[in-house]
Structure 1
Amino acid sequence: MTLLAAKALLTLFVVMDPVGLAPVFVALAGGRPTADQVRMARRAVRVAGGVLLAFALFGPALLEYLGISLDAFRVAGGLLLLKIAVDMVFAHRERETDEEKAEASLREDISVFPLAIPLLAGPGAMTSVMILTAESRDVPGGFFIVLGAVVVVLLLAYAALVLASRLARLLGRTGVNVVTRVLGVLLSALAVQYIADGVLDFLALAVG
C-alpha cells in the first residue's frame, strides 16, 4: 500500500512537473491581474482533475473492451513516457504545438486550454493514471490511493501556478531546467521499468 502511494505520487509529480509548468504559466498569463491568474489556476486544476478521474474510472474498462492487455499498455505507455523523459532531460520539452501557443496567446481564459489540457492532464498523465489504476486492483483501497495521489499532485500544481511568478524569479530559467532535467531522469527510469515489466510478463505468458 505504501509502495503504491509512493509510486503514484512520484510518477504523477514527475509527469506533470508543476515546477516546470510555472514559467509557462507566467508566459501565458503573467500580464493578467492576480485575481484572474488564481481563478484560471483553480479552474484548470478542477478540469484536469475531472479528466484524470475519468481515465482512472473508465480507462481499464476501455482497455478490456478493446482487448488491450495491461502488459501491452505498459509497454506502449512506457515508450511514451520515455519520449517525454528524454525531452525533459535535454530541456526541449514541448507541451503544446506552435499553433496551440498562438491560439493560447489570443485567449482571454487559458484555464481549460492549454492549461488543463494538455499542460496538466497531458498524454503522459493520462497514461500514468490508467496504468496505476490497473496496477492498484490487487492492493486494498488501491484505487483511492491513486486518486489521493492525483489530488495531492494537483494541489501542488495549483500552488505552483498561484506562486508561478515568485517561483520563476526564485529559480530562474536555469533552476527550472535543472529541476526538469532531474525529474526527466527519474521519469526515464520509471518508463524503462514499465517497459521491462510488460515485456517480462509477455515472455512469462509465452513460456507458460
Structure 2
Amino acid sequence: MTELLDPRLLASVFITLFVIMDPPGTVPIFLGLTSAMTRRQRNRAAWQAVSVALGVIVSFAIFGQSILSYMHISLAALQASGGLLLLLVAMELLTGKMEEARPSGNDKVNVALVPLGTPLLAGPGAIVATMVFVKQAGDAADYVAIAIAIVVVHLCLYLAMRFANVIHRVLRDSGTILVTRIAGLLLAAIAVQLIADAITAFIAEA
C-alpha cells in the first residue's frame, strides 16, 4: 500500500491545506456572503466556490513547476516566500482580520466565485503550499498522496459550507472564533518551519 501511497505525505498535505483553507473558519464568512440567498442558492454557491478553489489549486499544482523553472526560482526561495505568505495568513486568522472580509455590494458579482472561491479559499497561502509539496514530490506515490489530500480538503470545505447553518449552530460564534484562532497558531508554526527549511537550504547551497 505504501508503494502506491505515502500516508505520511498525505497527512502532511492534508493538515497543511486544512489549516490554511480553514473549513470551520469559512462558516461565518460563507453565511455572511450568502445571507440573502435561499437554501437552494446557498447550496449551489457552496458547490461553485469549492469547484473554483479546486480548479485554481490544481492548475497551480500542474503548471506551477513550469512557471518556477521559466522564472529561475529555486525551491528555497519559494519556501521562504511561501513561509512569509503563510505567516501573514496566520496573523489574519489570529487577529480576526480574515473574518472581516465582505463583498463590495455589487449584486452582479457571484460571491461564490469572488471573493469566496478565490482568494478566500484558494488564496496565496494554499497555492504556494501546494506548489511546494508538488515540487518536493519524488515519485508517483507522492503525487497520489498530494492529489488525494487536495480532494479531501476540498470535500471538507464543501461539507462545511453545505452544512454551515448546522455547524454554526453547534459551535456558536465563540466556538467558531476559537477554532479559527487555533488554526492560525498551527499555521504560524508551519510558516516558521518553511522559513527555517529555506534558510537551511540556502546555507547548504552556499
| Normalised TM-score (structure 2) | 0.92
- Within a 5 Å distance, the mapping from 1:1-208 to structure 2 comes to 1-93=6-98, 96=101, 101-103=103-105, 106-107=107-108, 109-136=110-137, 138-206=138-206
Shift of 1:38: 0.8
| Corresponding residue SS for 1:173 | helix
Shift of 1:64: 1.0
Shift of 1:91: 2.4
**Percent identity over the alignment?**
38
Cα distance between partner residues in 2 of 1:109 and 1:140: 37
Could you tell me whether the CA contact under 8 Å between 2:82 and 2:128 is conserved in 1? yes
The answer for unaligned runs of 5 or more in structure 2 is: 1-5
Cα distance between partner residues in 2 of 1:205 and 1:95: 42
Report the AA paired with residue 69 of structure 1.
S
Check 1:154–1:139 CA distance in 2 against 1; reply closer, same or farther (3 A cut).
Answer: same
Report the AA paired with residue 43 of structure 1.
Q
Could you tell me whether the CA contact under 8 Å between 1:168 and 1:176 is conserved in 2? yes
Shift of 1:158: 0.3
Shift of 1:31: 2.9
Shift of 1:135: 1.3
Q: Which runs of 4+ in 1 moved over 3 A?
A: none
Cα distance between partner residues in 2 of 1:148 and 1:115: 22
Shift of 1:107: 4.0
Report the AA paired with residue 133 of structure 1.
V
CA deviation profile, 1:51-104 (whole Å, cap 9, x unmatched): 1100000011111110000110000000110111122122223684x6xx2146
| Corresponding residue SS for 2:104 | helix
Could you tell me whether the CA contact under 8 Å between 2:49 and 2:117 is conserved in 1? yes
| Corresponding residue SS for 1:102 | coil
Could you tell me whether the CA contact under 8 Å between 1:30 and 1:165 is conserved in 2? no
CA deviation profile, 1:172-206 (whole Å, cap 9, x unmatched): 22111110111111111111111011110110111
The answer for unaligned runs of 5 or more in structure 1 is: none
Over the aligned positions, Cα root-mean-square deviation in angstroms equals 1.6
Count of aligned residue pairs for this structure pair: 201
